[in-house]
DNA sequence: AAATGGCAACTGGTCAGACCACTTTATGAA
DNA sequence: TTCATAAAGTGGTCTGACCAGTTGCCATTT
């Protein structure tokens, strides 16, 4: 039957991968040179290179100019990344895109929480809120998260819970501890505390609109603060395209 | 300090990835041809191919012989489920949860589109809108989707694009063709057309608030309509896990 | 007018061979 | 022995050619 005619490069990538997995090639171990592989597998070097790039993309190998390619360290981290995460991580702009979306969803969560929170929900939110009040800034990050999570779950919309959870994970991958860096700064902390209070009270009083407004403003404020800090501390990082190697010699 | 002279292929891969993000390229969307990319980025086609293989390895793109390369679907992966699609599929209630979230995000998308749409975006939205106007209800589903997609992408927030795409996929998995079932009903169609017109005009006039309100109302209206229909046709389905749509008229 | 078939003109897939840039190693002079 | 240097080996890039699917256009046929 029709075998779909798999591209050779794809096949070679798989072969090399199997060679690594089955064939005893250990991490750090050097794999044959491109020219050698091409010869041994009976394909052109271009194909081998494309296959190696594929494997590099998969995180299977590392390549060093003039030295060779090596089997990558395999880290069996449980926190596997979805393609979505891969796509976004590393791009600074993404952080603000994420915050832009969160701004909306946290607002909605707060609104729904104000409408739907059961007495148990209210109790949990209150507990989280109180814990957050009496805590040092270091622990604060986790408590802050707990507070917001309690609110989101009080919305009783599992989709919302899940999406916000994903967005938070993405944020953590994009830039670690940015939020944490924010906390210590006194004036910010004061403002954030105030936001939290507003959100909390609105939900408790069952005022959907106020809750939404407060939560939205909260995220936006955090976002803007981060942007300011970034612009002050690393003005324009912009990992721009590497200029084509410019002949510095002569 | 020494910048280690990053390989061009690596840089190009990142640039293309960025092109997907900044350019707001949506899943399924075609990316420029290899020859075109090579020309535009001032490198050889080999480099572009290696970069594309890298991206393919990362799961960012899919490539088809003779057709081109496309932004990969983030959602569907046989064994590797997105965090999102874990629990939900099959539960009718989820549909309304999804719509509840969409309501918010579509609103935001419309607002941002009104603020950020370039002339090219406006042109595309107009084209989609016009196409939708002069079409029979059968084709309408796809055109409706195209219209909303154009708006979302005009928001220039890739995160928003992907999240909404995921939500839509989830909706399709939850219940097929619900929206399509809605269209034929004359009174609904009239209303929906009117909503679309409002959204369209607000974006074109650059009125963020109005655009957001209109888009939010639109989704909410669709949601409520579906709920009514459902309650009429299958009274009380509520939170029961609805296995596959076994549709027998009666 | 509609269906058919075939010919461009796209697109990606593969190959060959040539250089360039970097690392390691062997070489040979001090 | 030491050390600079050449040589050899490795990955990095370019060019241009050709093969192989896909798609749309258009004349032909029905």
Determine the pLDDT at residue B43: 94
Average pLDDT over residues B184-193: 69
Average pLDDT over residues B119-124: 87
Where on strand C do bases come within 7 A of a protein Cβ?
A: 10-18, 21-24
Nearest CA to B243 out of B70, B22, B89, B114 is that of B89
Determine the pLDDT at residue B11: 86
Q: Is the pLDDT of residue B243 over 50?
A: no
Chain B interface, best mutation among A49, A82, A89, A212, by max B CB count within 10 A: A82
Q: Do A84 and B77 touch (CB under 8 A)?
A: no
Chain B interface, best mutation among A10, A156, A162, A216, by max B CB count within 10 A: A162
Give the SS3 label for residue B18. helix
What's the gap in Å between the CA of B11 and the closest CA on chain A? 6
Determine the pLDDT at residue B35: 92
| β-pair partners for A29 | none
Question: What tokens were used for B2?
Answer: 């020494």
Determine the pLDDT at residue A239: 31
Q: Which residue is nearest nucleotide D15, judged by alpha carbon to C1' distance?
A: B44
Exposed, middle or buried by CB within 10 Å (0-12, 13-18, 19+), for B147?
buried
Q: Is the pLDDT of residue B100 over 80?
A: yes
Give the SS3 label for residue A168. helix
**What is the Cα–Cα distance from A26 to B245, expressed in whole angstroms?**
50
Determine the pLDDT at residue A24: 55
What's the gap in Å between the CA of B249 and the closest CA on chain A? 30
Å between CA of A250 and C1' of C28 = 29
- DSSP string computed for B189-209: HHHHHHHHHHHHHHHHTT-HH
Output the CA angle A63-A70-B9, nearest 5 degrees. Answer: 15
Q: Which residue has the higher pLDDT, B163 or B186?
A: B163
Average pLDDT over residues B34-54: 93
Nearest CA to A221 out of A182, A173, A186 is that of A182
B8-71 domain in CATH 1.10.3720.10? no
**What is the Cα–Cα distance from B16 to B10, expressed in whole angstroms?**
10
Average pLDDT over residues B197-203: 93
Determine the pLDDT at residue B236: 38
Q: What is the ipTM of this complex?
A: 0.56
- Can you state the angle between helices B45-58 and B8-22, rounded to 10 degrees? 60
**Domain locations along chain A:** 8-71, 83-233
Pair A214, A195: CB distance under 8 Å: yes
Question: What tokens were used for B237?
Answer: 């389905």
Quickly count: other Cβ atoms within 10 Å of residue A224's Cβ.
12
Q: Confidence band (pLDDT; 50, 70, 90) for B78?
A: very low
Question: What tokens were used for A71?
Answer: 């089997």
| Cβ-proximal residues to A133 (8 Å cutoff; 6+ apart), any chain | A193
Q: Is the pLDDT of residue B213 over 90?
A: yes
pLDDT over 90 percentage in chain B: 25
Q: Confidence band (pLDDT; 50, 70, 90) for B3?
A: very low
Per-residue pLDDT of chain A (250 residues; tens, 9 = 90+): 444 567 788 888 888 887 776 555 655 667 888 999 999 899 999 999 999 999 888 877 888 888 998 887 644 333 344 444 444 555 556 677 888 888 999 999 999 999 999 899 999 899 888 887 776 555 566 677 888 889 988 998 877 877 887 777 666 555 444 444 444 555 667 778 888 899 999 999 999 999 999 999 998 888 887 766 655 554 433 332 323 333 333 2
**What CATH topology corresponds to A83-233?**
1.20.120
Determine the pLDDT at residue B188: 65
**What is the Cα–Cα distance from A20 to A24, expressed in whole angstroms?**
6
Instruction: Out of A5-19, B88-102, B142-156, pick the least confident.
Output: B88-102
Determine the pLDDT at residue B123: 87
| Cβ-proximal residues to B242 (8 Å cutoff; 6+ apart), any chain | B90, B91, B92, B175
What CATH superfamily is the domain B92-233?
GntR ligand-binding domain-like (1.20.120.530)
Q: Confidence band (pLDDT; 50, 70, 90) for B53?
A: very high
Pair A72, A25: CB distance under 8 Å: no
């Amino acid at each position: 039957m029709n075998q779909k005619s798999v591209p050779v490069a794809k096949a070679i990538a798989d072969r090399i991968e199997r060679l690594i997995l089955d064939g005893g090639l250990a991490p750090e171990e050097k794999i044959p040179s491109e020219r050698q592989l091409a010869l041994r597998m009976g394909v052109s070097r271009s194909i081998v290179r494309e296959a190696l790039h594929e494997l590099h993309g998969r995180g299977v190998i590392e390549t060093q100019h003039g030295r060779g390619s090596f089997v990558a360290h395999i880290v069996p981290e449980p926190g596997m990344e979805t393609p979505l995460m891969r796509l976004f991580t590393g791009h600074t702009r993404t952080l603000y895109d994420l915050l832009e979306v969160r701004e909306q969803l946290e607002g909605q969560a707060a609104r729904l929480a104000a409408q739907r929170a059961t007495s148990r929900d209210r109790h949990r939110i209150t507990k989280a809120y109180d814990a957050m009040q009496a805590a040092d800034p270091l622990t604060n990050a986790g408590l802050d998260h707990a507070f917001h999570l309690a609110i989101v779950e009080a919305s009783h919309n599992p989709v919302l819970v899940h999406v916000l959870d994903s967005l938070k994970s993405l944020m953590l991958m994009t830039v670690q501890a940015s939020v944490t860096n924010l906390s210590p700064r006194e004036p910010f902390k004061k403002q954030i505390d105030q936001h939290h209070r507003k959100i909390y009270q609105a939900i408790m009083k069952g005022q959907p609109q106020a809750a939404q407004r407060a939560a939205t403003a909260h995220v936006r404020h955090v976002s803007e603060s981060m942007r300011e800090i970034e612009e002050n501390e690393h003005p324009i990082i912009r990992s721009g395209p590497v200029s084509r190697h410019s002949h510095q010699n002569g």
